[in-house]
Amino acid sequence: MNKTNRPIVLEAKGLTKRFPGVLANDNINLKLHQGEILAFLGENGAGKSTLMNMLYGLYTPTEGEIWIKGEKVEMSNPGDAIDRGVGMVHQHFQLVPVMTVAENVMLGSEITSGGGRLNMRKAIQNVRDLSEQYGLAVDPTAVIEDLPVGTQQRVEIIKALYRHADILILDEPTAVLTPQEANELFRIMNDLTAQNVSIIFITHKLKEVLSVADRIGVLRSGQMVGTAMPEDSTETSLAELMVGRNVILQVEKSPSKPKEPVLQIQNLHVRDDRGHASVEGVDLEVRAGEIVGIAGVEGNGQRELVEALTGLRHADSGKIIIDGREITHFNPRQITELGVAHIPEDREKHGLVMPYTLSDNMVLNKYFKAPYAKGVIMHHDKIDQNGQVLVKEYDVRPPNIHALAQNLSGGNKQKVIVAREFSTPTKLLVAAQPTRGIDVGSIEFIHKQIVAQRDQNVAVLVVSAELDEVLGLADRIAVMFDGRIVKILSAAEATRERVGLLMAGSEA
C-alpha cells in the first residue's frame, strides 16, 4: 500500500559525495516516510553504502543537506545520527568478534553502576527483553564469533533497537542470509514498520525488493536513476533500470550429459576449527559434465566439506577420490595440480592478496609454472599478459592490471577470482558461495561461466546458501543438514518448497 501520505522522517536534498578520483554520490534526493520500507538497488560500487554512510553521519557530505524529522542536521559522527533515532546495520557487520552479544549491544551506550563499572546483568536483561519483544531469539551471553551470520544480523538489529532507533538503515542485510533467515528478517521488518519504524533497505536481490518494499530507488554510478513502486515493477524491469541494459535472470543451460565420475567422496568425516565433528559421513559423487549443487543452511558442514576437498583442512576419516586417485591427505598444491579449481567462500580471506596487483593475484594458482616461471625465475611480462587477457575477458573494472585488489568492489574482486580459477585447465570446479554480495549483472556473468565450464565436461560442485542459485544452476541437488547429505534430488524433482523443508531438517 502507499505510505507516501505519511509524515517525512528523513530527507536528503542534493547529497553529493566525492572521494579522491570518484564521484560516489551525485546530487541525490530522497524522502523516507514514517513506517515505510524504502528499498535501494544498484550495482556494486553504485554508491549505495556511501549514501547510507552519509545519512548515518559516518561520511560527511561534500554537498547537500540532510533533514531528519523536519530539522536540518549537521552530523559529525554517528553519535549525532543515533541521538536522532537513526540506526544502521552495515553491509560489513560492525560487531567485535571476541566480545559477547550483550557487550556489543551496549558498546557506546553502556549501562554502568557508578564509577564507570559495567552493569553486565542489567545489559544482559535488556538484550533478553528486546529479543523477546521482537522475537529475535538471541542469547546475550554468546560470543559473536561463535554465532552464525544470521544471528549476528539480528544482533545488529538489536543494537539499533537498543538505541531506540525509529529510522533503520539496512545495507545488504540479506547478502549472507539463507532464505529462511531472510524471511525471518522480513517478518521482523514488518513488525517494526507496524510500530512506525521507518526502514531503508539495500539489496541485490530483486525478489526481496518486490516482496517487502513500499517504494524502490535505483542508483547507478552515483546517480538516482529512478524510483519505482513494487506493484508496477518486475524483476526484469528493475534489473534493466539498475544495470542499464536488459539482463537474463534465469540461468540458460541445456540439459546435462554426465560422463565418468570425477569426484567421489566416501563416508567422509571432518572436524571444524573447534574440533567438533562437522562433516559426519558424507557420500557424494560428481561426474564430468554435470553441476551438483549443495543446498543447506550455513553451518551444516558445507564449509568444512569444501575445505577438506581442497586440502585446506584434513579429514578425520573417509575417502576423497578425484579422477580415480585418492587425495584424502594431499595438500592444496597437489590437489590443484590434479586440475581442481576452487572459488573460496571468503574472497578476502582466502581468495585474494589484497595488497597485490590484479595481475599478481591472477597467477596465485600457477605462478610457479611455465610460462609464468622457469625454475624459480618469474616472468612478469607473461604474468601481465595473462592479467590483460583475463581482465578483458572477464570484464573486471577498473580494467587496470596494476590496480591493487584491495581497491576493487566485491563484485570485481569475485570476478578476479573466477577469472583466475577458470583460466587453468580444469577437471573439477568447486565453487563456494560464488555470487555472494554481488549485483545481478555480475551474477549473470558468473553463472554463464560456470555453465560454460560444465559444457566443457568439467565436473562442478556448487555450494550456496542461495537456494535460487542452487536451483538455477544445478543438475542434481544434494541437501546438506547436520553434517550429512540428507537427500539428493534431480533438478526436475527439486522444488523450492521441498528443498527448503529438507534444509530445515524435516525429512520429505
Partner 1 sequence: MTTAAVPKARSRGDYAKIIGLIFGVLVLIGIIYGYITNPVTTTAVLASTLRQSTPLVLGALCGLIGERSGVINIGIEGQMLMAAFIAFLANVYTGNLFVAVLAGFATGAVLGAFLAFMSVTLKMDQIIGGTVINILALGLTSFFYQTGLTTQGKMQPIPLGPLADIPLIGPIFFDNPPITYTTLILVMLVHYVLFYTRWGLRTRAVGEHPSAADTVGINVFKIRYINVIIGGGIAGLAGAYLTLEAVGSFERAMTNGRGFVALAVMIFGKYTPFGAWGAALLFGFATALQTQLQFAGQLEIPHQFIGMLPYLLTIIVLAGFVGRTRVPSAVGKPYEKE
Partner 2 sequence: MTTQTDSKANISQWLMVFWRSAAVPLVAVILALLVGAIILLISGANPLAAYSALAKGAFGTPIAFGRTLEKATPLILGGLAVAFAFKGGLFNIGGQGQLLVGAIVAAAVGFGIDGLPFIIHMPLALLVGSLAGAVYGAIPGALKAYTGAHEVITTIMLNFIAINLTDFMANGPWKDEGIVARTPAIAEAAAIPTWGNIPIGFFFAVVAALATWYLLYRTTIGYEIRTVGFNSNAAKYAGIGVSYTIILTMAISGFLAGMGGAIETLGVVGRYQPGFNAGLGFDGITIALLARTNPIGVIPAALLVGAMQAGSSQMQFDANVPFQIIDVIQALILFFVSADMIVRWIIRVKPEEGEQVTLSTSWG
Ligand X SMILES: Nc1ncnc2c1ncn2[C@@H]1O[C@H](COP(=O)(O)OP(=O)(O)OP(=O)(O)O)[C@@H](O)[C@H]1O
Please give the distance of CA 85 from its chain centroid, rounded to a whole number. Answer: 27
Residue 122 has which C-alpha cell? 542489567
Which of residues 237 and 267 has its CB atom nearest to partner 1 in the complex?
Answer: 267
> What's the closest the beta carbon of residue 407 comes to ligand X, in angstroms?
5
> What's the closest the beta carbon of residue 482 comes to partner 1, in angstroms?
7
Assess 433 for contact with Mg ion (CB under 5 A). no
> Looking only at residues 9 through 28 of this chain, which bind partner 1 when binding is defined by CB under 8 A?
19
Q: Compute the distance between CA of residue 259 and CA of residue 289 in angstroms, rounded to an integer.
A: 6
Q: Compute the distance between CA of residue 59 and CA of residue 252 in angstroms, rounded to an integer.
A: 41
Q: Are 410 and 435 in contact (CB under 8 A)?
A: no
For residue 380, the partner it binds in partner 2, ligand X, partner 1, none, with Cβ less than 5 to 8 A by kind, is partner 2
Assess 434 for contact with ligand X (CB under 6 A). no
Residue 455 has which C-alpha cell? 559444457
Angle at 439 between CA 434 and CA 441, to 5 degrees: 95
Residue 218 has which C-alpha cell? 535505483
Pairing of strands 291-295, 22-33: unpaired
CA distances from 350 to 340, 361, 411, 419, 432 (A): 16, 11, 16, 15, 12
> What's the closest the beta carbon of residue 57 comes to partner 1, in angstroms?
8
Assess 91 for contact with Mg ion (CB under 5 A). yes
Residue 38 has which C-alpha cell? 524504502
Size of site (CB under 5 A) for Mg ion: 3
> Looking only at residues 72 through 101 of this chain, which bind ligand X when binding is defined by CB under 6 A?
91
Which of residues 91 and 310 has its CB atom nearest to Mg ion in the complex?
Answer: 91
SS3 readout for 152-163: HHHHHHHHHHHC
Long-range Cβ contacts of 57-60 (<8 Å, 24+ apart): 57/81, 57/86, 59/17
Instruction: Give the contacts of 467 (CB within 8 A, at least 6 positions apart).
Output: 178, 179, 295, 496, 499, 500, 503
> Looking only at residues 471 through 490 of this chain, which bind ligand X when binding is defined by CB under 6 A?
none
Q: Compute the distance between CA of residue 100 and CA of residue 151 in angstroms, rounded to an integer.
A: 13
Residue 30 has which C-alpha cell? 530522497
Q: Which stretch binds Mg ion (CB under 5 A): 47-55, 205-213, 284-292, 425-433?
A: 47-55
In the shown chain, the binding pattern of residues 5 to 24 toward ligand X, with x for contact by CB under 6 A and - for none, equals --------------x--x-x
For residue 345, the partner it binds in partner 1, partner 2, Mg ion, none, with Cβ less than 5 to 8 A by kind, is none
> Looking only at residues 115 through 134 of this chain, which bind partner 1 when binding is defined by CB under 8 A?
115-118
Q: Are 286 and 262 in contact (CB under 8 A)?
A: yes
For residue 47, the partner it binds in partner 1, ligand X, partner 2, none, with Cβ less than 5 to 8 A by kind, is ligand X
For residue 378, the partner it binds in partner 1, partner 2, ligand X, none, with Cβ less than 5 to 8 A by kind, is partner 2
CA distances from 136 to 24, 192, 207, 241 (A): 35, 12, 23, 35
Which of residues 109 and 490 has its CB atom nearest to partner 1 in the complex?
Answer: 109
Assess 49 for contact with Mg ion (CB under 5 A). yes
Which of residues 360 and 469 has its CB atom nearest to partner 2 in the complex?
Answer: 360
For residue 44, the partner it binds in ligand X, partner 1, partner 2, none, with Cβ less than 5 to 8 A by kind, is ligand X
* 3-class state of residue 443 by DSSP: helix
> What's the closest the beta carbon of residue 503 comes to partner 1, in angstroms?
17
Write out the residues near ligand X by the rule CB under 6 A. Answer: 19, 22, 24, 42, 44-50, 91, 407-411, 437
Write out the residues near Mg ion by the rule CB under 5 A. Answer: 48-49, 91
Write out the residues near partner 1 by the rule CB under 8 A. Answer: 19, 56, 58-59, 77-80, 82, 88, 90, 94-99, 103-104, 107-110, 112, 115-118, 159, 163, 271, 274-277, 280, 482-483
